Amino acid sequence: MTQFDHIFREAIGRVYNEGADVFSERTGYSTKALPGLTYEIEPAQGFPLLTLRKIPVKLFCAEVVWMVTGHKHLDFIRQFTKIWDDFAEEDGTMETAYGYRWRHHFGRDQLLELIEHLRQEPSSRQGVVLMWDPASDGLTAPKKKNVPCPFTWTANIIADKLNLHLIIRSNDMMLGNPHDTAGFALLQAMLAQELGVHVGKLTVSISHAHIYENHYEQVEEMLAREDHTHDEIFCRLPEHSFQRALSEDAELVNELFQMFKSQYQPAPPVKTMQIAL
């Protein structure tokens, strides 16, 4: 197993074996849930791409490029997946799209300002990027099709390494977590390349880590995969990846996909898991 396979297997084991039984009124499913789950990864020593089961590699590559573009319409991402259509408005846009909120929603370009800020002041501890809008998300605000699950992240440079701390309010550990972890590790690599520094630590903190009852069988199967072996996977970005993403270069998605695919030999699939909307 890779380092991330071990981390992920330990995390789902904790949630499954130690989590409380919690019924979700929103989805109508029971879950096993654990608060305050945190893990640390060193992506330079092995990219966190889960191999205990196959995950759709091109999907997270396409999403990261889409996020960097800052668009809320789905035209770019629909070239690669229709997964976000369920959350879109009738005009084909998604107001809570992470990249849109990074770059436009709050009246400033948080993403480009982060890069410029860390260039000017590498020792800064103020590299905070938000996706959550307290004016319209959660609490007693009207329900909407989607609210951000990863809702903020911070970036800092220590010892010439870019570190990223992702905070997730709610995480479906079987479907969402491997996808989110790989996606933000890829974003971290792009930002580090753009800043001319090395990739440092990726920390993921989850306020409400849960496993849905209709995924229990798959959890048990993955926990039983003790003998699975896989070499570490490394992220070797094409040159100027961040700038190419800014320019909406769809070919970048294919290059990223091929880079990971050439190293990826996951364990056999598990039974199809249904997302809880």
149 is catalytic: yes
Tokens of 221: 């199967």
User: Is residue 178 a contact partner of residue 8, using CB atoms and an 8 Å limit?
Assistant: yes
The b/e string for 188-198 (b: 16+ C-beta within 10 A; e otherwise) is: bbbbbbbbebe
Sign of CA dihedral 64, 110, 150, 196: positive
194 membership: H or E segment, kind and range: helix 176-195
Q: C-alpha 69: how far from its chain's center?
A: 16
Amino acid in the structure at residue 140: T
**Cα separation, 174 vs 211, whole angstroms:** 7
The DSSP output letter for 125 is S
How many other C-beta atoms are found inside a 10 Å radius of the C-beta of residue 230?
A: 19
183 membership: H or E segment, kind and range: helix 176-195
Of 12, 41, 149, 199, which is the active-site residue? 149
Catalytic residue annotation? 149
